[in-house]
Amino acid sequence: MPVDDARPIWVRLVETFRLRIVSGDWPPGSRIPSVRELASGTGVNPNTVQRALAELDRSGLTSTERTSGRFVTADPGVLDRVRRELATGATDTYVTALTGLGLSLESATTLLAERWGTQGSQGDTPCSKGDTL
């Protein structure tokens, strides 16, 4: 995690974990690593990791089963909602940057289509089969 980021670490962890979930790195219904494992892997205090995971529980992305651990939701509605939130944020950033450069919608759309093909994203992402965005 970048040290110069002014946002609290737990907020950055929430963002990282949300992305892992919606990208399929942590598939629906799967058990996610323990607090200790995540703390060790990120170099962050376990209490900070727990705070981030509690936020995921609160948002419905994960749920905790007392003796079994924490699991990713299998609810496609929750996953689609979060995927859309993340996509909207990325799109807003893109639009702001390109309008700031003076690009028209047509130019921006052409650029996006060109770059889409060069990034290896030919519609083969986990959400492409049922895109609801």
22 three-class SS: helix
On whether the CB atoms of residues 62 and 73 are closer than 8 A, the answer is yes
- Interval 38-97: pLDDT, tens: 999 999 999 999 999 999 999 999 999 988 999 999 999 999 999 999 999 999 999 999
pLDDT band at residue 131 using 50, 70 and 90 as cut-offs: low
Decide: helix, strand or coil at residue 28.
Answer: coil
- 118 pLDDT above the threshold of 90: no
pLDDT band for 124, please (50, 70, 90 cuts).
low
Instruction: Note the pLDDT of residue 129.
Output: 45
Look up the pTM and report it: 0.77
Element holding 40 (H helix, E strand): helix 35-42
Residue 24 backbone class (left: φ over 0; alpha: ψ -120 to 50; beta: rest): left
